[in-house]
Amino acid sequence: MATSSGRMDGRSLSVLFVLCGAIFLEGIDVAMLNVALPAIRTDLGLSTGALSGLVSAYVLGYGGFMLLGGRAADLLGRRRMFLTWLVVFLVFSGLGGVATEGWMLLTARFVTGVAAAFLAPAGLALVTAAFPDGPLRTRALGIYAGIAAGGYTLGLVAGGLLVTIGWRWVFFAPVILAAVLLLAALVLVKDDEEQRAPRTGRFDLAGALSITGAMLLLAYAVVRLEHGTAGLATTVLVGAGGLLLLGVFVAVERRAADPLVRLEILRNAALARTNLTALLFIGAFAGFQFLVTLYLQEIRGWSPLETGLAMLVVGLDTVLAPTLTPWLVGRFGNTRVLFAGLATAALSYLLFLPVAPDWTYAAMLPSFVLVGMAFALAYGPLTMASTAEVDEREHGLAGGLLYTAIQFGTALGISGVTAVSVVAGGAGRITLDGIRTALLLPIAAVLVAALVTAFSLRRRVSTPPNAPDAPEPQAVASA
């Protein structure tokens, strides 16, 4: 899918942008809903708990089924899983738009999360299968990661605009985009020869049930953290149940003739560092973004549209990630670029720490610009590293591991800063002191991520930077 010069031809670019469109759809869907929550509450008369449940339902579906989704892409065919679950995403997003009761929205969001859990790893595996290992794949993954990150930032603005028309358009707009992507994917996206070959062996049903149950319980325990000490016993029991099922899953996989997950992949140290870094980096960003939203809307009284426009500059990663990041990775190596991104994120959050009730937009702008640069430098290398030391046949599973880390990081980040900001604010209120105290959590998380990456740098200190045309595994394996 490349020209003789090693460049992408028209068809390969078309395939890439269809796959990018799907991951963009996922990001923009989440961001737009977050902006629309107050309007949904007003129209449907939902309680605060039900409103929080709309976010939690998606997290449960996404986090609970991600590993199963990743392995299903490898076993049952990446194209088949991609197309099937894109249809499910389309249908249930539309059902959310016509919902008249809270339970209908909750169901729609849960199933949409499940659909995303199958879509995301299948899409990433299709990208790595479509482009040969090396600079071409580096560029493709840079574009893919940049557009994925752009969905979360541009979704804030799009959500603000759509809510002014009506909150139901936050659900209908993804239906239109999903329909266009589906038509294009049916024509353009193909499985490679190995994926088209018939599969042998049995599907590991016991492994699928145990890992899905474990992920659902663990995701629910994470979501409950935002309630602080209220219902702590239940949170601990749910988490313990998730860990118990995780132990059952490991025992099942050790004895299974055709395991759902080859346990050796979990012993890959580079892969473990990559996923831990992704969890911490995305968790820090999610927590920071949530606190900024609270500050602008709850403290300053800005509208959702004003908030989205204020943070639009964060979307500069959509431009930088596909263009600058692949060049930097080729020049300096994946780990160095990732470390630079984490350091930039830490600086951004530190600059926002002295936030005041009368801050001008000019005072906030440096933090927002640096967040966009951090995403451009870190998200692409993390995506590249997630499949670097993994067999091509397990790229769906590797993608599932990455997106599981990202989703759990998002849930942990938001739950953590919510709990800290409420406790620090006193009397359950959101205050500026509470926001400042909670900002310490994203700062700490991203500094720990930087330390994890620095450990990789120290191990490779004697390795010279990669040349622009160096093979990709050497560039990304150490993240």
pLDDT digits (tens, 9 = 90+) for 347-376: 999 999 999 998 999 999 999 999 989 988
Q: 271 CB contacts (<8 Å, ≥6 apart)?
A: 265, 386, 389, 390, 398, 401
For residue 1, being part of any structural domain is answered with: no
**Residue position matching structure tokens 């589906």:** 182
For residue 442, being part of any structural domain is answered with: yes
For residue 387, being part of any structural domain is answered with: yes
- pLDDT tens per residue across span 120-149: 889 988 988 888 877 888 888 888 877 887
For residue 159, being part of any structural domain is answered with: yes
Q: Which residues pair with 2 in a beta bridge?
A: 8
- pLDDT tens per residue across span 51-64: 667 877 887 788 77
For residue 251, being part of any structural domain is answered with: yes
pTM: predicted TM-score of the whole model, two decimal places? 0.80
For residue 423, being part of any structural domain is answered with: yes
For residue 281, being part of any structural domain is answered with: yes
Q: Please count the other Cβ atoms lying within 10 Å of the Cβ belonging to residue 94.
A: 17
Q: pLDDT-derived band of residue 468, with 50, 70 and 90 as boundaries?
A: very low
pLDDT of residue 2 exceeding 60, the answer is no
For residue 3, being part of any structural domain is answered with: no
Which among 121, 61, 21 has a CA at the least distance from the CA of 386?
121
pLDDT of residue 447: 96
**Number of domains, the chain:** 1
Show the domain range for 33.
10-190+206-476
Biggest CA-to-CA distance, the chain: 66
Please, what is the angle between helix 10-44 and helix 169-188, to 10°? 160
pLDDT of residue 199 exceeding 70, the answer is no
Higher pLDDT, 47 or 347: 347
Q: Which two tokens stand for residue 341?
A: 């991104």
User: What is the rounded average pLDDT for all residues in the chain?
Assistant: 82
CATH of residue 323's domain is 1.20.1250.20
